Structure 1
Amino acid sequence: MKKYALIVIVFISTLLCGCEKYIFTFNEQPVLTTPELFTGYRIPDPALAVCVEQAIKDLLVTSANQLSQLNCSNAGITDLSGLEIFTGLTFVNLAQNRLTTIKPLLYLPKLDSISLEGNSSLDCLDGERLKEQIEGQTKLPKHC
């Protein structure tokens, strides 16, 4: 009996997961719709764009300020332009990339934890400004 109950639960779960992108209606009136993921941004750096897109999918972000975490270490990122739109970011990991400037990070009011280790060409002046601005943890490259 337990075996059949388990099979039924797995079957129903599979059906429900397969229906995640549908609009459910009653008498042809929408009752439940799945929210659209946020797409209203432009990020020129291809590596950063891929990372942000994946974070939006993983965290089911529907507006710019909902993105709170971004882990883009070892991604080959060189430019952070466009990141300033995500004002809800509190945690950002950009360790081991090829960043030279981090000016867009200075416009993130909720940023509380950042890792910039391993960015050997980073402008240390911007790094120090960011460190003063953030109350939480700031990890800068060794040369800073």
Structure 2
Amino acid sequence: MPIKLALLLITLFSLSACSKYQFTLNETVVHTPPALFTDFQTADKSLQNCLDQTIKDQNITSPQQLTLLSCSHAGIKSLDGLEVFSNLSHVNLGNNQLQRVQALGKMGRIETLLLNDNQLQSAPEILTLPKLQKLDLANNSNLDCGDLRQLQKSYTGDLTIPEQCRP
């Protein structure tokens, strides 16, 4: 009896390690892993490519599972469509070509936001991110400083602002 139990346990452990694969028994599908999340579309092809790769790398099967996004140096110009991923908490969009970040205003769980080295002109949406702990806006030479001055008054997190907005 202990041998049968041991064999059963070994089989179960082995199968659990293969949860990403489809299993068949006598040509009948016994297990099919969940499909990767693909039910979204962005306006920017570079953002779409980055999200597609991230979803594949992190094995994301629903938009709520995506919490970390790193799309730096990707040539992204627009974030339209990103709002589907409302559980994002750590976002790196540094070194792109962004001029505005409206989609981020709908993402109240963002804690870390890296937007350095873009072409931002204004970013009032950042004021609506209640959990923000780290914000990098360095090297956005066209960024209007009005919103940042308001943010500086109440913000207690790690804040890096562009040269032209420093006192």
Range into which the TM-score falls when normalised by the shorter chain: 0.7 to 0.9
Q: Give, in whole Å, the separation in 2 of the partners of 1:136 and 1:32.
A: 42
Q: Give, in whole Å, the separation in 2 of the partners of 1:61 and 1:127.
A: 26
Cα RMSD of the aligned pairs, angstroms, is: 2.4
Equivalent position of 1:6 in the other structure: none
Deviation, 1:128, is: 4.7
Tell whether the 8 Å contact from 1:90 to 1:113 is kept in structure 2 after alignment.
yes
2:68 maps to 1:75: no
The CA deviation string for residues 39-79 of structure 1, in whole angstroms up to 9 with x for no partner, is: 01011101101100011001100011111111011111000
Report the number of matched residues: 126
Q: Give, in whole Å, the separation in 1 of the partners of 2:131 and 2:29.
A: 44
Select the residue among 123, 129, 132 that pairs with 2:127.
129
> Quick one: which amino acid aligns to residue 39 of structure 1?
T
Q: Give, in whole Å, the separation in 1 of the partners of 2:45 and 2:131.
A: 27
Instruction: Tell me the TM-score normalized by structure 1.
Output: 0.76
> Quick one: which amino acid aligns to residue 136 of structure 2?
K
Deviation beyond 4 Å, 4+ runs, structure 1? none
Instruction: Tell me the TM-score normalized by structure 2.
Output: 0.67
> Quick one: which amino acid aligns to residue 111 of structure 2?
D
Q: Give, in whole Å, the separation in 1 of the partners of 2:80 and 2:100.
A: 10
Tell whether the 8 Å contact from 2:23 to 2:32 is kept in structure 1 after alignment.
yes
Closer/same/farther in 2, CA of residues 133 and 39 from structure 1, 3 Å limit: same
Give the structure, 1 or 2, with the largest relative contact order (CA under 8 Å, sep 6 or more): 1
Structure 1 unaligned blocks of 5 or more: 1-12
Tell whether the 8 Å contact from 2:96 to 2:117 is kept in structure 1 after alignment.
yes
**Matched position secondary structure for 2:96:** coil
Q: Give, in whole Å, the separation in 1 of the partners of 2:59 and 2:20.
A: 12
Closer/same/farther in 2, CA of residues 125 and 114 from structure 1, 3 Å limit: closer
Equivalent position of 1:99 in the other structure: 98
Tell whether the 8 Å contact from 1:70 to 1:91 is kept in structure 2 after alignment.
yes
